[in-house]
Amino acid sequence: MEKLEDQLITVRDWLRWAVSRFNEAGLFFGHGCDNAYDEAVWLILHGLSLPLDRLEPFLDARLTRAERQTLSNLLERRIGQRVPTAYLTREAWLGEFRFYVDERVIVPRSYFAELLEEGLHPWLDDPLEIGTALDLCTGSGCLAILMAHAFQNAAIDGVDLSPEALAVARRNVAEYGLEEQVRLVRSDVFDGLEGYRYDLIISNPPYVTTGAMEAIPAEYLHEPSLALVAGSDGLDVVRRILAQGAEHLTPGGLLLVEVGHNAHLVEEAWPQVPFTWIDAPSGESKIFLMSREELLEHFA
């Protein structure tokens, strides 16, 4: 039987084949793209070391046998093993920011990325007034890096329990030349931050429920479970953040926590608390905001 790499000759051939197979295989797209076409373009252009924003000039280019073998191997891993494209390419994007990723960290995805583009306006009047900020559960360091760009006068701490994740974060911080502004700390939530207080704390913590993990698409099983699962209601880490958050905020400081689709679980767990929910361009009520004073009132 003729091998795949002998049948598909041009970039156009490989792209058509990949889109068809992605759809046929029922792949899940939740790690940077939301459809088969965009993900196939990303994977093919990366595999050929071509610019990710220049497809048209190369569509009818004939590929060498070595290039075709490279694409065959990449596409087989994406289809057969359900490996997210971000892990195959070793990169993920939040807006214009590129980050190195591998299986030691979850693939960056956060509603915070959109909000940080505007310096958390209107919840913060002046980003330049933020002197200290914390990214709790930093993973790859992506949000700490975005915070460093948004709050240029701030000393940023990025905290994670996983030493493997922090190794990836160090690589990303170094690639952006932010070693003087971003400090990475190994800590189990706030346990290693005694005495530290911040004007702003953001967190995109683990919040997947144990029930949801049983039905989660196979692509997510390549990610570290430590960064995903947080108990039966997904709120194990959120509880610790709320209980300890006030003692790590300066007067007037703000805490923002992303919980994805679990807003209803948060409100069910604390029905007496008037949470302020923030809308991002791509999602409503995915992040809640609380001031230090509100934390003292409801969780002290």
Residue range 105-299 forms a domain whose CATH class is alpha beta
Q: Judge whether 251 and 212 are in contact, CB under 8 Å.
A: no
pLDDT at 17: 96
Query: Which residue has tokens 């493997």?
Result: 164
**Structural domain spans, the chain:** 4-89, 105-299
pLDDT at 223: 92
Give pLDDT < 70 ranges for the chain. 1-2
Q: Judge whether 58 and 133 are in contact, CB under 8 Å.
A: no
In the chain, % of residues over pLDDT 90: 84
- Write out the H or E segment, with its range, that includes residue 51: none
Residues 248 and 41: their CA atoms lie apart, in Å, by 44
Residues 163 and 24: their CA atoms lie apart, in Å, by 38
Instruction: Count CA atoms closer than 13 A to 271's CA, side-chain side.
Output: 1
Q: In this structure, how many other beta carbons lie within 10 angstroms of the beta carbon of residue 267?
A: 15
Residue range 4-89 forms a domain whose CATH class is mainly alpha
- Write out the H or E segment, with its range, that includes residue 54: none
DSSP letters spanning 188-241 = STTTT-TT--EEEEEE----B-HHHHHT--GGGGGS-GGGTB-STTS-HHHHHH
Query: Which residue has tokens 């994805």?
Result: 260
Q: Is the pTM of this model over 0.85?
A: yes
Assigned token pair, 202: 């953001």
Strands (E), the chain: 92-94, 97-99, 132-136, 155-160, 182-186, 198-203, 249-258, 276-280, 283-291
Q: pLDDT, tens digit, for every residue of 226-271?
A: 888 888 899 999 999 999 999 999 999 999 999 988 999 999 999 9
